[in-house]
């Protein structure tokens, strides 16, 4: 097995010296072998040790995973964090009320005592990484079944994590790379006291909102400010008034020198998911099934929320974060489908597979045929026979689990019911419930009963209409028939009779110790019918999925072996820390059109439309613009608002620092561009652009608009 792992890694490492600059979310530990020479040629002034060093402070120590799905950066010696406004949005919403509407009006702490603790928000610092492929695959043989392989990998990974985190306060994960051909250990330290420090009003932080989302030119000042706290020894601790601002190992200097076209630019962060090895059949499924299904499900839920939010200011605040989350990837999948078609990604993938088939046949030894001969057929057969299951998967997740919060509460309580049915004592049950109470209370904090009933109806309706009948629960179909397929009536009856639909009813059940009756609750019964059916149906294709996983792993290995002299490969993004590098760069989206690499505050005023909440401009911002009161942040008599680079990013990179050749912060990455929405599946170097808010616009808003000079004074400003 060790020899097999060595062969795989030799194939991967053989690709390193010829790395392509524009494409690639690269692993820091391989920088010297893969990209450093090219980075220097493009203008980088730092040594590789200044970027990643496990023994000394380096650039990586200033980069955090912010919460569960964004990136942030430390910009002062007092633990000050910058990230995107949309990354901090749920925290801003958490602290907002009708009387203190921080979403609409913004929030600023002018001293540390005014900073707002935010329960559940974390800052995860990266410590080090290590290639553990040999150890993870120890015991795996070519004849191992997929089930046996998974169990061996799981147990070996668990041993590595336990050894790595013993008695040091760290957390760790073993992440798979190249579809299971490589395994990397990542070690982290997680801080749990993160406080809201500042946020512009949404008219600045979300300027353009859905209309401008994923678009260039862009004028959004997409930032928010937080601070990470530690105990007196600098260690992670739960919130306490005695905690102190963290003294970081490294923080980013902030440059106000500006950027020019072709300047070096690097981004570090936690990109979420890419699938650059997706085969042609997977592209076809994305175009025909997955993407339109996500759009359809989210559109139905968005319509309900949007109507109720416009009718009630309290509901607007309660559902602001949920609506924004729905909307972001609702529009993304519309754009991705268009791009996949326009750029003919299916045929590009098919050409690669045809080359792969030819490469197998060219081997006179027969070794390639033996290892890879059935790969393409297995992959294509899997997609052909299981495509309809994608409807079940998408609509269960998007319409049911992402729909009404009553199912969120039901999902939380199901383990309690399972425990009761397994014969647990009353003490054990009450302990479980006590542990759940704060999480359930958080759900009810942003919960409007009327809206949730409508969301339940809309989710059930869109699920019923789009999941193949043969894959739906017979009990659910009987229920729908009984009500004449009137899902409003089903939802109404559930909300009349369920104990799970209001905090008061659920609290009454707690008080009466009547939790055993949850199993007979109509909301619980419906949830179980849908989820148990989903589990049963998906279990029925486990064997096919195992065959597909094996074939897909071999396909990736074979592609890298086939193209080892022509291409370099970075592993798909998977929420582990990566860096990407390139240049500030304009582009030509279509014939006769050239987009400049930056936008200005003048463009904000050009877009101003105070009849639309998306394009409302605060009076003070207009006054500053008219007076040209830009302080030290101006260039050419105005404020540069955003700029674009050809860095390779995806979701999860939101809030990532855009860094210049000297390791100074020049912007915050927050979006991609419409012409390259297929980038998660197929990178297009001519079109792919990362949109960043210019750090000078951020500082201008903090300083001149908000008057929070206390924050400016914390930072190391480089002029």
Interior CA angle at 234 toward 228 and 240, to 5°? 60
Q: What is the mean pLDDT of residues 125-134?
A: 98
CA dist 220 and 525 (Å) reads 45
The mean per-residue pLDDT over the stretch 77-85 comes to: 98
Q: Tell me how far apart the alpha carbons of residues 275 and 570 are, in angstroms, rounded to a whole number.
A: 11
Q: Which long-range contacts (CB under 8 A, 24 or more apart) does 232-239 make?
A: 235/169, 236/169, 236/189, 236/190, 236/191, 236/192, 236/193, 237/191, 237/192, 237/193, 238/192, 238/193, 239/117, 239/119, 239/192, 239/193
What does the alpha-carbon distance between residue 320 and residue 665 come to, in Å, rounded to a whole number?
30
| DSSP notation for 121-178 | --EEEEEEEEE-HHHHTTT--TT--HHHHHHHHHHHHHHHHHHHHTTTS-EEEEEEEG
Q: What is the pLDDT of residue 567?
A: 60
Phi, psi of 666 (to 5 degrees): -120, -10
Residue 559 predicted with pLDDT over 80: yes
Average pLDDT across the chain, whole number: 94
Confidence bin at 405 (pLDDT 50/70/90): very high
Nearest to 642 by CA among 75, 209, 221, 198: 221
Going by pLDDT thresholds of 50, 70 and 90, the confidence category of residue 1 is very low
Positions marked catalytic: 86, 222, 654
In the predicted model, is pLDDT for residue 7 greater than 70? no
CA nearest neighbour of 717 among 680, 664, 675, 670: 664
> CATH code for 578-671+683-718?
2.40.10
Residue 158 has phi, psi (to 5 degrees) of: -60, -40
Mean pLDDT of 542-560: 97
Q: What is the pLDDT of residue 12?
A: 43
pLDDT one-digit tens code per residue, 630-675: 999 999 999 999 999 999 999 999 999 999 999 999 999 999 999 9
φ, ψ for residue 72 (rounded to 5)? -140, 170
Enumerate long-range contacts of 340-343, CB under 8 Å, 24 or more apart.
340/283, 340/286, 340/287, 340/678, 340/681, 340/682, 341/287, 343/678, 343/682, 343/684
CB 457 within 8 A of CB 490: yes
Residues 6+ positions from 146 with CB-CB distance below 8 Å: 546, 547, 549, 550
Separation of alpha carbons 207 and 217, rounded Å: 12
pLDDT at res. 575: 97
Residue 512's pLDDT is 62
> What are the tokens at 705?
């608009």
CA 374 to chain centre: 34
Q: Which residue has the tokens 């020198």?
A: 257
| Residues above pLDDT 90, as percent of the chain | 89
Q: What is the pLDDT of residue 19?
A: 40
User: Could you give the C-alpha distances from 61 to 201, 475, 645, in angstroms and in order?
Assistant: 30, 53, 23
pLDDT at 293: 97
Contact 81, 72 (CB under 8 A): yes
What was the pLDDT predicted at 518? Answer: 86
Name 57's Cβ contacts closer than 8 Å, sequence gap at least 6.
Answer: 249, 250
Q: What confidence tens digit (pLDDT) does each residue in 247-264 have? A: 999 999 999 999 999 999
N-term to C-term CA, the chain = 55
- How many C-beta atoms surround the C-beta of residue 465 within 10 A? 13
Q: Is the peptide bond before 217 cis (omega within 30 degrees of 0)?
A: yes
* pTM higher than 0.85: yes
Work out the average pLDDT over 426-440: 85
Tell me how far apart the alpha carbons of residues 638 and 558 are, in angstroms, rounded to a whole number: 53
At residue 3 the predicted structure's pLDDT band, cuts being 50, 70 and 90, is very low
Residue 229, both tokens: 């706290």
Kindly list the domain boundaries of the chain, sorted by start residue. 277-395, 403-540, 578-671+683-718
């Amino acid at each position: 097995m060790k020899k097999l792992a060595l062969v795989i890694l030799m194939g991967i490492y053989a690709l390193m010296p010829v790395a392509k600059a524009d494409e690639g979310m690269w692993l820091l530990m391989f920088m010297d072998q893969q990209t450093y020479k090219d980075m220097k040629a493009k203008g980088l002034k730092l040594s590789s040790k200044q970027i990643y060093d496990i023994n000394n402070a380096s650039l990586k120590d200033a980069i955090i995973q912010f919460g569960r799905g964004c990136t942030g950066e430390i910009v002062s010696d007092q633990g000050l964090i910058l990230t995107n406004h949309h990354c901090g949005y749920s925290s801003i919403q958490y602290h907002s009320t009708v009387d203190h509407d921080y979403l609409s009006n913004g929030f600023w702490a002018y001293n540390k005592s005014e900073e707002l603790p935010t329960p559940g928000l974390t800052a995860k610092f990266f410590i080090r990484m290590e290639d553990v492929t040999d150890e993870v695959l120890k015991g795996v043989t070519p004849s191992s079944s997929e089930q046996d392989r998974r169990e061996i990998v799981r147990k070996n990974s668990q041993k590595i994590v336990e050894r790595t985190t013993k008695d040091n306060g760290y957390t760790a994960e073993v992440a798979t790379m190249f579809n299971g051909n490589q395994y990397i250990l990542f070690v982290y330290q997680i801080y749990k006291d993160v406080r809201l420090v500042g946020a512009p009003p949404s008219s600045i932080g979300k300027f353009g909102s859905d209309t401008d989302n994923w678009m260039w030119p862009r004028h959004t000042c997409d930032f928010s400010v937080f601070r990470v706290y530690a105990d007196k020894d600098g260690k992670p601790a739960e919130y306490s008034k005695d905690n102190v601002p963290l003294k970081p190992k490294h923080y980013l200097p902030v440059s106000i020198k500006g950027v020019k076209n072709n300047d070096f630019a690097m981004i570090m962060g936690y990109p979420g998911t890419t699938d650059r090895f997706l085969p042609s059949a997977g592209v076809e499924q994305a175009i025909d099934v997955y993407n339109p299904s996500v759009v359809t499900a989210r559109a139905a839920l968005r319509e309900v929320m949007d109507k109720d939010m416009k009718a009630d200011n309290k509901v607007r605040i309660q559902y602001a974060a949920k609506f924004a989350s729905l909307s972001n990837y609702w529009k993304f999948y519309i754009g991705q489908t268009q791009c996949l078609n326009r750029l003919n990604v299916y045929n590009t993938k098919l050409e690669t597979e045809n080359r792969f088939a030819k490469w197998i046949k060219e081997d006179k030894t027969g070794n390639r045929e033996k290892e890879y001969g059935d790969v393409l057929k297995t992959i294509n057969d899997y997609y052909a026979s299981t495509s309809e299951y994608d409807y079940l998967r998408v609509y269960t997740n998007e319409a049911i689990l992402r729909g009404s919060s009553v199912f969120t509460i039901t999902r939380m309580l199901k383990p309690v019911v399972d425990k009761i049915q397994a014969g647990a004592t009353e003490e054990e049950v009450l302990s479980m419930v006590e542990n759940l109470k704060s999480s359930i209370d958080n759900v009810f904090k942003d919960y409007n009963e009327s809206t949730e009933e409508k969301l339940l109806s809309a989710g059930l309706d869109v699920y019923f209409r789009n999941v193949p009948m043969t894959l739906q629960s017979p009990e659910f179909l009987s229920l729908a028939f009984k009500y004449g397929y009137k899902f409003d009536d089903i939802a109404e009856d559930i909300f009349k009779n369920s104990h799970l639909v209001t905090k008061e009813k659920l609290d009454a059940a707690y008080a009466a110790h009547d939790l055993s009756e949850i199993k007979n609750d109509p909301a619980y019964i419906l949830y179980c019918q849908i989820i148990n059916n989903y589990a049963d149906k998906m279990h029925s294709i486990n064997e096919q999925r195992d065959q597909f996983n094996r074939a897909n792993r071999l396909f990736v290995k074979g592609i890298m072996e086939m193209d080892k002299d022509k291409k370099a490969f970075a592993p798909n993004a998977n929420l582990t820390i990566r860096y990407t590098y390139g240049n500030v760069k304009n582009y030509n989206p279509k014939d006769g059109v050239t987009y400049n690499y930056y936008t200005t505050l003048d463009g904000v005023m050009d877009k101003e439309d105070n009849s639309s909440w998306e394009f409302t401009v605060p009076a003070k911002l207009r006054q500053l613009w008219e007076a040209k009161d830009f302080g030290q942040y101006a260039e050419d008599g105005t404020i540069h608002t955003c700029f674009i680079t050809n860095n390779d990013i995806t979701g999860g990179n939101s809030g990532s620092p855009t860094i210049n050749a000297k390791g100074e912060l020049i912007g915050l990455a927050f979006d991609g561009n419409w012409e390259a929405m297929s980038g998660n599946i197929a990178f297009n170097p001519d079109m792919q652009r990362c949109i960043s808010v210019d750090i000078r616009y951020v500082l201008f808003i903090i300083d001149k608009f908000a008057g929070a000079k206390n924050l400016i004074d914390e930072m190391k400003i480089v002029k």
